[in-house]
């Protein structure tokens, strides 16, 4: 079995490159904790600009001790774009912030690697998730860097991916989710999207391996066996810890991730404890392929 290969970071900025925030990286490629900022107060343009830069560099930013109101939470997310109103989840007081509750009657179900809603033509740009109640232990979230995972592929495989697209489709709800949807009277709108296997990040220009095992069903134009073998290989590439970061939540913690360049996994190890999160999701744009093959 091949080992993961890490290439030198190409876009990450060092802590000393920031004057208005403290940036403490959690790993070589993905994830940084941001300090020296109070997100409940209006952000100075220079501070916001540095947060934007750190977001693109590190793909997921962590903040601690940020006890925001729901309105402050939504206002913060709106700096990045229009917010999604989730018809499947209860809201947290305003419709742009969803409330996600797991307890003994509704166990966590985020424990599969995925980017959010890649079955949409325009998947979300990102999400800002805030911890309201956390279990005493457990309930961490992991993110993986799809740009670093792409960089680590052998050149021949990168060339094989050029021009390929994949179908992303909503998986059928499991029995528990189906019961929940029925109880809420929510109709599931089935959507399917075709995206390039490798997309270019619209802001950094970086090539990204745009697949995930929840939504990506098959590669267009390949026999079923070849499609499954290729996707399994790519999913395995994303599974290496070298491309990942793991976050331990506290009440008031915020994780803000770039949904275009990461997948995430909510560890479901805290049942039957209660975990309550609130989430604002920023609408995104249509993925497009890179102009040239990265090396």
Q: Which amino acids are annotated catalytic?
A: 114, 116, 264, 279
> Residue 213 corresponds to which tokens in the numbers above?
């095992």
Ramachandran sector of residue 244 (left: φ over 0; alpha: ψ -120 to 50; beta: rest): beta
Nearer to Fe ion, 116 or 200 (CB): 116
**Which position's Cβ is nearest Fe ion?**
116
Options 67-75, 99-107, 115-123, 243-251: segment touching Fe ion (CB under 5 A) = 115-123
Query: Considering the complex, what minimum distance in angstroms separates the CB of residue 71 from Fe ion?
Result: 23
Q: By the 8 A CB rule, do 216 and 166 touch?
A: yes
Nearer to Fe ion, 112 or 274 (CB): 112
Long-range contacts of the stretch 72-78 (C-beta < 8 A, 24+): 72/39, 72/40, 73/97, 73/128, 73/130, 73/278, 73/280, 74/280, 76/39, 76/43, 76/128, 76/280, 77/128, 77/280, 77/281, 77/282, 78/282
Q: Which is nearer to Fe ion, 112 or 222 (CB)?
A: 112
Identify which range of 93-101, 110-118, 162-170, 195-203 contacts Fe ion by CB under 5 A.
110-118
For residue 196, the minimal CB distance to Fe ion (Å) is: 21
**116 contacts Fe ion (rule: CB under 5 A):** yes
Residue closer to Fe ion by CB (options 47, 127) is: 127
Residues that bind Fe ion (CB under 5 A): 116
């Amino acid at each position: 079995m091949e080992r993961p290969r890490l290439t030198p970071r190409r876009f990450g900025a060092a802590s000393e490159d920031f004057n208005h925030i403290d940036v403490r990286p959690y790993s070589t490629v993905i994830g940084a904790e941001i300090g020296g900022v109070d997100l409940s107060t209006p952000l100075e343009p220079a501070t916001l600009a540095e947060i934007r830069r750190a977001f693109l560099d590190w793909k997921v930013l962590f903040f601690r001790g940020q006890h925001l109101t729901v309105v402050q939470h939504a206002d913060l997310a709106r700096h990045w774009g229009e917010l999604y109103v989730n018809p499947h989840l209860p809201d947290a007081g305003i419709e742009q912030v969803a409330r996600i509750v797991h307890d003994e009657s509704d166990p966590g179900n985020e424990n599969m690697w995925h980017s959010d809603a890649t079955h949409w033509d325009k998947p979300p740009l990102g999400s800002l998730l805030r911890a309201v109640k956390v279990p005493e232990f457990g309930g961490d979230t992991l993110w993986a860097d799809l740009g670093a995972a792409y960089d680590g592929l052998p050149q021949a495989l990168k060339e094989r991916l050029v021009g390929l697209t994949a179908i992303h489709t909503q998986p059928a709800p499991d029995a528990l989710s189906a019961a929940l949807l029925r109880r809420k009277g929510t109709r599931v709108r089935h959507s399917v999207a075709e995206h390039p296997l490798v997309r270019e990040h619209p802001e950094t220009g970086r090539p990204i391996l745009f697949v995930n095992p929840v939504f990506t069903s098959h590669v267009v134009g390949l026999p079923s066996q070849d499609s499954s073998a290729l996707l399994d290989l790519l999913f395995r590439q994303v599974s290496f810890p070298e491309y990942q970061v793991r976050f331990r939540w506290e009440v008031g913690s915020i994780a803000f991730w770039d949904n275009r360049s990461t997948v995430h996994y909510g560890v479901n190890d805290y049942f039957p404890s209660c975990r309550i999160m609130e989430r604002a999701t920023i609408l995104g744009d249509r993925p497009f392929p890179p102009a040239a093959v990265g090396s």
